[in-house]
Amino acid sequence: MSESSAKPVLLTMQDIHIDGRSGDTWSPIIKGVDLTLHRGEVIGLIGESGAGKSTLGLAAMGFTRDGCRISGGMIDFDGIDLLAIPERERRALRGKRIAYVAQSAAASFNPAHKLIDQYCEGPVQHGVMPREKAEADAVELYRRMRLPNPEEIGFRYPHQVSGGQLQRAMTAMAMSCRPDLIIFDEPTTALDVTTQIEVLSAIRDIVAQFDTAAIYITHDLAVVAQMADRIKVLLRGDEVEESDTRSMLAAPKEDYTKSLWAVRSYARPVQPPVTTGVPVVSVQNVTAGYGAADVLKNIGFDIHARRTVAVVGESGSGKSTTARVITGLLPPRQGRILFDGQPLPPDYRQRSRDQLRQAQMIYQMADTALNPKLRLRELIGRPAEMYLGLKGKALTERIRDLLALIELEPEKYIDRLPSELSGGQKQRIGIARALAAEPKFIICDEVTSALDQLVAEGILKLLDRLQSEFNLAYMFITHDLATVKAIADEVVVMQNGRVVEQGPKEEMFQPPHDPYTELLLSSVPEMDPDWLTRLLADRAARRAGQG
Amino acid sequence: MSVLFTIFWIAVAVVAAMALGWLFRWAAVAASRGEARRALKTAPLAASFGMLVILIYVVVALFAPLIAPYAEREVVGAQFLPWDATHPLGTDNLGRDMLSRLVYGARNTVGIAFATTALAFFAGSFLGLLAAAVGGWLDQVLSRLVDILMAIPALIFSLLLLTIFGTSIVTLVLVIATIDATRVFRLARSVAQNIVVMDYIEAARLRGEGLIRLIFREILPNALAPLVAEFGLRFCFVFLAISALSFLGVGIQPPTADWGSMVRENATLITFGDVTPLLPAGAIALLTVAVNFVVDWQLHRASGLKE
């Protein structure tokens, strides 16, 4: 607040009301929020999904998604009343003076055109600079965004560039007309922690260099702490509180904000490691892959009853492939899977019904893991009907019990469709479906990564409770180390299809580490506004020391 | 003036159709209960009108002998008599009552088209879903077979087959159903291919579900919306194909009344500015429009689109 308030005001939004249409009625999404942004200042918008962060961010451009309308309030951008001018003039501003960086760069770039063609479109269309100059400018910005080979990378197509690089290319594109304001809509949510660091630092530097004001939308508190001068917390379309980053982190005023902070502290009690007895699942010297390439190279670990083994690593490290080998979707080339000491047939089609019943899976995206046309009664009831032979009244009774177990009221939910549930509720149904088979072992594949923190915490607590109630063994696939801290007993760190380190959780979070584990651990954002600066300085110093 | 006059009559027709649709919806809501009632209440006017038209066609087809004033093949007067009290729509090229033949034509043309479409759908979608669910060599064999059948132009292929196997109604149905099943197969397969990669199908496979349940409980409900839309279109194409074949003389054989051949038999009258020969064509057009109104509405409901 200190330095920025001295600068002139760039954007003022007063008493903004935005409605969304559902069927024939309009219901409010944003209920009277104010926002003031000075030149060169970064404001962070945080809140759960459905809080209206993106809607408010887009409204700063005078834009709403289809089916939404701005029903009240005033938006003043550098002396221009955005709601009063015609659409044509608003369009002339967008891209030129106000730019937008979307969450998924991979989905937002047009796959049919080269990056540099898409970069040049804005400046040329808006008449800011001719094509040749725009191309030279692109290379310059690519360099500033620390993209590899800045001279050549623009001539690639989006699919030839990695996710983190695409996100940086998109930020460079947003910078092409040197806008006064950029709206970042969760730009790093889809990235791995190690990639996230690069994107965050590049964004932070370039925003500072050009003195651009920014609205930074995210649900990750630790990220916003690094990026924003001020933070505004939203809840269901209302502002909860706003203050500058340091005082917000040090002393949140409202209960809701405090509850957001508190989530990070959930951890289950430490349990002694099991070394004796037959493990429920034992992965032994497994090598597997698609086509000619090996995705997994000679991996092995054990999972005991009542224990949670977290498998961590970046995308592409082979976590999900491990799950596919255990479930039998991908028969391994070498090695074997033991279940209770007995070898499992490599292909799921050769496994007996009882073997299939014993190992269940919960998927990352509950949206695609639940058949949208089936009611909960059938979704949950089918495994019980199939494996346990329950019918009629007994089956209904079992479905009710299961719904009660996952803390959903049976009467209210039993005949609903998945589309009539929230994200967290859908994930609970995924858990209930796994439990219905009465398994010994459950694979949880990134089950919380698509959920808000508060909801995710509820899911973790539920899984924890069910584990002690039913003696379950979990294999927990995740890239989120905060989740690992919360729920794991043992950790397996994977990189490029190999296990680089494994052991009990307490040991894993204590040095000394394998270099890759060290990189992963140090890349997890912390709730400290100086964390990123310090980390980058550390890494630079270490690199200098080595060189 | 005549342009204005035409516009006026089109407006009258549209308003009348909407009014009929509204009345029909009101009556249908009153006569039904439960789930059906709720669905009917939200039906758009176009869909209500379409349902009304289809209902009328069905009634006419079922009770043709009671409705028609004369028998289907009875010669009742001179050729090409004008419209009058005894023959409301005049007589045809052999002196048969035009109205009676229109009524019987509904039974023949609509009945055969419906049977053909249903057959094409049953075979095409089942095989399409099967090919997508099983994959591998079965998919290859079925798909290449369909490619071969589709490589031959449909009309020429059906003319060829009908010439070889003779022109009975059963062969007609089988030939057109086979040709149309290839199109349904392609659609069903491509829709199902997007569904079989979903996690819930993987979950069902890992659960150990059998193929039949996988197809009918897990895949089919999610493929229904595009298939329903295709059914409406396909019904119209089949309808037109039968009429076209009848017009060419290899479809439904005289003296059986059929709308396609009726147009051809009486085509001479068109040169005299008489609309009578166009009435069977109008009957075809009205039914295809009505079917599509209803299918659009069902598609909307099945796909869960709100707008």
Which of B200, B201, B301 would best serve as a mutation to test chain A binding (most A beta carbons within 10 A)? B200
Tell me the whole-structure pTM to 2 decimals: 0.78
Give B-chain residues touching A374 at CB under 8 angstroms. Answer: 217, 221
If asked whether residues B35 and B125 sit together in one domain, one would say no
Instruction: Note whether B137 and B286 are same-domain residues.
Output: yes
Spatial separation of the C-alpha atoms in residues B24 and A98, rounded to whole Å: 54
On whether both B119 and B264 belong to a single domain, the answer is yes
Residue B68 resides in a domain: no
Interface test with A, best of B201, B206, B219 (most A CBs within 10 A): B206
Angular region, A191: left φ>0, alpha ψ -120 to 50, beta rest? beta
**Residue B231 CB-half CA count within 13 A:** 22
The Cα of B222 is separated from the nearest Cα of chain A by a number of Å equal to 7
Q: Which residue has the tokens 């701005």?
A: A70
CA distance linking residue A225 with residue A246, whole number of Å? 8
**How big is the CA angle at A448 (ends A447 and A449), to the nearest 5 degrees?**
105
Q: Quick one: pLDDT at residue A265?
A: 61
How far apart (Å, rounded) are the C-alpha atoms in residues A192 and A480?
9
Domains contained in chain B, number? 2
Helix (H, G, I), strand (E, B) or coil at A71: strand
**pLDDT mean by block of 10 residues, chain A; 547 residues:** 63 86 78 86 84 85 83 85 85 87 82 88 86 88 84 85 83 87 84 81 84 87 86 86 83 80 65 74 89 85 90 84 91 91 91 92 88 90 90 91 89 86 87 92 87 82 89 89 84 89 82 80 80 84 75
Q: How far is it, in rounded angstroms, from Cα A161 to Cα B65? A: 72
Nearest to B206 among A67, A361, A371 (CB): A361
- Cβ(A362)–Cβ(A443) under 8 Å? yes
Query: What pLDDT, on the 0 to 100 scale, is given for residue A522?
Result: 82
Looking at the fold, whether B180 and B278 belong to one and the same domain comes out as: yes
Please state, in angstroms and rounded to a whole number, the distance separating the CA atoms of residues B26 and A99: 52
Same domain, B263 and B119: yes
Range of B16's domain? 1-42
Query: Is B28 in the same domain as B138?
Result: no
Residue B86 lies in a domain: no
pLDDT in tens, B189-227: 999 999 998 899 999 999 989 899 999 999 999 988 888
User: Is residue B71, in this structure, part of any structural domain at all?
Assistant: no
Q: Are B108 and B256 in contact (CB under 8 A)?
A: yes
- Shared domain check, B183 and B278: yes
Same domain (yes/no): B134, B250? yes
Chain B residues with CB inside 8 Å of A365's CB? 199
Interface contact flag, B198 A327, Cβ < 8 Å: no
What letters, b where the CB count within 10 A reaches 16 and e where it falls short, cover B144-173? eebeebeeeebeebbbebbeeeebeeeebb
B20-53 per-position pLDDT tens digit: 888 888 888 888 777 777 777 778 888 889 999 9
Residues of chain B below pLDDT 50: 306-307
Residue A237's region, left for phi above 0, alpha for psi from -120 to 50, else beta, is left
Which residue reads 């994200």 in tokens? Answer: A423
CB-based contact A348 B206, cutoff 8 Å: yes
Q: Is B135 on the interface with A (CB under 8 A)?
A: no
Sole residue written with tokens 């979950």: B203
Asked if the structure places residue B79 within a domain, the reply is no
* Stretch 202-221 of chain B: residues touching chain A, C-beta under 8 Å: 202-209, 217-218, 221
CA distance B130 to A39: 61
Q: Which residues of B touch A328 (CB under 8 A)?
A: 206
B53 part of a folded domain: no
Show which residues on chain A lie within 8 Å of chain B, measured between beta carbons. Answer: 22-23, 67, 327-329, 348, 351, 353, 356, 361, 363, 365, 368-374, 382-383, 386, 419, 433, 437
Cβ neighbours of B200 in A, within 8 Å: 368-371
User: Residue B193 sits in a domain of what CATH number?
Assistant: 1.10.3720.10
The angle formed by the CA atoms of residues A79, A235 and A31, to the nearest 5 degrees, is: 50
* Cβ neighbours of A23 in B, within 8 Å: 306
Residue B8, domain member (yes or no): yes
Chain B contacts of A369, Cβ < 8 Å?
Answer: 198-200, 203
Q: Give yes or no: residues B174 and B292 share one domain.
A: yes
Sheet holding A296-303, edge to edge: A296-303, A281-288, A334-339, A342-343
Say yes or no for a CB contact (<8 Å) between B306 and A23.
yes
If asked whether residues B13 and B110 sit together in one domain, one would say no
Cα–Cα distance measured from residue A347 to residue A336, given in angstroms and rounded to the nearest whole number: 11
Q: Which amino acid does the sequence have at B251?
A: G
Do B182 and B267 fall into the same domain?
yes
- Same domain for B191 and B289? yes
CB contact under 8 A, A365 and B202: no
pLDDT for B306 = 43
A15 contacts: CB under 8 Å, gap ≥ 6:
A32, A33, A34, A72, A73, A74
Asked whether residue B59 is assigned to any structural domain, the reply reads: no
**CB neighbours of residue B94 within 10 Å:** 15
CB contact under 8 A, B200 and A23: no
Amino acid at A265: S
Q: Is residue B10 domain-resident?
A: yes
